[in-house]
Structure 1
Amino acid sequence: MDRPDIPLNALRVFEVAVRQGSFTRAAVELRVTQAAVSHQIARLEDLLGTTLFLRTSAGLVLTDEGQALFPVLEHGFDAMARALDRIGGGHHVEVLKVGVVTTFALGWLIPRLAAFREAHPEIELRLSTHNNRVEIGREGLDMAIRFGGGRWPGIEAMALVEAPMSPLSAPSIAASLRHPDDLAQHVLLRSYRADEWPRWFEEVGAVCPPLTGPVFDSSLALAEMAARGESVALLPVAMMGRQIEEGRLVQPFGRMVSTGRYYLTHPAERAVTPAMRGFAEWLRAEMAAEAEG
């Protein structure tokens, strides 16, 4: 098969521009000017004899030709990056980039990283945290751990662990909480998932009071506010072990409600690499060991 005489740099610029969704952000990632990005895209379109982007008031929109080209290039550049990572410096190491929702990272994964490195010295795990909103391809990740119901368009999801939720507060507030109805006397902090408090009150057979407390997109922020004695937060108890052990947070009620699970996810069309498989199998084994113990 004849290989087209297309400059690799132009193809790389196109791939980054699609992931970033704009020439400006692509220029930042590539450390060049926006004009240089525009020039490379125009050159590529000229060489291919077709338009790859439509410039609209809403931003860049891929043409059919652009949509056909992008996944091929994305997979190709990912494969090259993995190969270069493995042989770089003479060490056969595969880099795995994983985005992890911050609550799970601090509450479960980070304390076990040493065990993972010991079990898989051939994998260099590079973590980045997120607030449960993550775009694997656009952020240059291989996989992501997120919380939810397990269904995301175009995503393969492996269930890890449930995270039942219960009200947590500072000891000073917990002392005044004898019955779920007592929560109505305090500020109830909310996450962006609006159904969590109503579901907990339904679980305990009580009426949910009007929810007027501030809304956060981070469980860690909720936990910090609650620990300061200013309010009560509904939190995944298993991920708050350190704060509970330190006595900063108390669980006044034993009843919990499950609103979802943590999942290990990756794009459905992406080929599973040995590092991805190794990380998934290690997580599965750790979760099984905890369930048994």
Structure 2
Amino acid sequence: MVRPYLPLNALRAFEASARHLSFTRAAIELCVTQAAVSHQVKLLENRLNVTLFKRLPRGLMITAEGEALLPVLRDSFDRMADMLDRFEAGHIREVLMIGAVGTFAVGWLLPRLADFQAKYPFVDVRLSTNNNRVDMAAEGLDFAIRFGGGSWHNIEATRLFEAPLSVLCIPEIAERLKTPADLLDETLLRSYRADEWVTWFDAAGIAYPAPLLKGIVFDSSLAMMEAAAQGIGVALAPPLMFSRLLSNGTMRQPFDVHTSMGSYWLTRLKSRPVTPAMTAFHDWLAAAAEQEAAALPATPDVIAG
């Protein structure tokens, strides 16, 4: 079946009129006359053989047919606008979908993203954050930056660097912490990884059975550090990701004792084709992370899970 040609001007006139419920206000937006908008909408109604609006003495009331058409048009116009916005200086900009652990995104990536965008202006970065739980296929991600051991099923993982954990707290609490054993009298804020504090106490030479741990459990280091900044307790978090709070004196690291629970990795689905934008980001991120990684023991750079 050959469908009748639907002029773009008529579709745009209907969409604007439906948003404003007024031919007059739609005409002002489209920089045409009210009569022109009314004519275009009538043309569309004739082509579709439906009534899209009920004309009222004061404005318009959209019909059921109009309600059905409107979201489809809005989506189509938004997608066209998005595509046109991706053209810059005669070149199309590539969208790069990145998911990142919130701690890494805020504490390390965001301060450096301006450098990436300056070097690769053709890449349109879309960044979402998570708490290290991510479904790359369902979320349509090109990359996911996550924390762990580097082995995920059907995933290619490029190791960036470790971010060892250490005790972080407000200055008032730090002043009363003379030795690691003093932490036994403090509220210890915890992440969903239950063995972190036990591992840290072991590194500090203190036996501290896991069942004795009490306190709030957080699914995000960002939320945990906010609680620590409010004096609710002591956090065990990577100082590298919270260097700004340490440098401005908001938080302190009372002990030079660290424990490593894994590394940050740049991951992608093996089945996802590599685009120029992905190559640019991979190479840039690897170079930016080199300084952090240089001081760490050599480990395999790539793991295919």
Whole-angstrom distance in 2 between the partners of 1:273 and 1:139: 17
Whole-angstrom distance in 2 between the partners of 1:246 and 1:218: 22
Shift in Å, 1:290: 5.0
With normalisation by structure 2, the TM-score equals 0.66
Number of the residue aligned with 2:261: 259
Number of the residue aligned with 2:247: 245
Alignment of 1:1-293 (within 5 A): 88=87, 90-208=90-208, 210-290=212-292
Whole-angstrom distance in 2 between the partners of 1:185 and 1:279: 45
Q: 1:242 to 1:144 in 2, by over 3 A?
A: same
Q: What is the identity, as a one-letter code, of the residue corresponding to 2:201?
A: F
Whole-angstrom distance in 2 between the partners of 1:87 and 1:116: 17
Give unmatched runs, 5+ long, in structure 2: 1-66, 69-79, 296-305
For the pair shown, which has the larger CA radius of gyration, 1 or 2? 2
| Contact 1:163–1:236 under 8 Å retained in 2 | yes
| Contact 1:181–1:207 under 8 Å retained in 2 | no
Give unmatched runs, 5+ long, in structure 1: 1-31, 34-80
3-state SS of the aligned residue for 1:234? strand
Q: How many residues align?
A: 213
Q: What is the identity, as a one-letter code, of the residue corresponding to 1:288?
A: E
Q: 1:92 to 1:207 in 2, by over 3 A?
A: same
Shift in Å, 1:158: 0.6
Deviation per CA, 1:187-229: give whole Å up to 9, x if none. Answer: 1011001111111111111122511111000101111111112
Whole-angstrom distance in 2 between the partners of 1:96 and 1:291: 25
Shift in Å, 1:269: 1.6
Whole-angstrom distance in 2 between the partners of 1:262 and 1:86: 33
3-state SS of the aligned residue for 1:207? coil
Whole-angstrom distance in 1 between the partners of 2:98 and 2:288: 17
| Contact 1:163–1:258 under 8 Å retained in 2 | yes
Whole-angstrom distance in 1 between the partners of 2:292 and 2:84: 33
Whole-angstrom distance in 2 between the partners of 1:292 and 1:151: 22
Shift in Å, 1:92: 2.2
3-state SS of the aligned residue for 2:274? coil
| Contact 1:142–1:266 under 8 Å retained in 2 | yes
Identity %: 51
Q: What is the identity, as a one-letter code, of the residue corresponding to 1:94?
A: E
Q: What is the identity, as a one-letter code, of the residue corresponding to 1:256?
A: H
With normalisation by structure 1, the TM-score equals 0.68
| Contact 1:101–1:145 under 8 Å retained in 2 | yes
Whole-angstrom distance in 1 between the partners of 2:281 and 2:239: 25
3-state SS of the aligned residue for 1:138? helix
3-state SS of the aligned residue for 2:153? coil
Shift in Å, 1:86: 9.7
3-state SS of the aligned residue for 2:258? coil
3-state SS of the aligned residue for 2:189? strand
Number of the residue aligned with 2:6: none
Shift in Å, 1:88: 4.6
Q: 1:292 to 1:260 in 2, by over 3 A?
A: closer
Number of the residue aligned with 1:70: none
Q: 1:201 to 1:290 in 2, by over 3 A?
A: closer
| Contact 1:192–1:216 under 8 Å retained in 2 | yes
What's the Cα RMSD here?
2.2
| Contact 1:85–1:93 under 8 Å retained in 2 | no
Q: 1:236 to 1:131 in 2, by over 3 A?
A: same
Q: 1:272 to 1:204 in 2, by over 3 A?
A: same
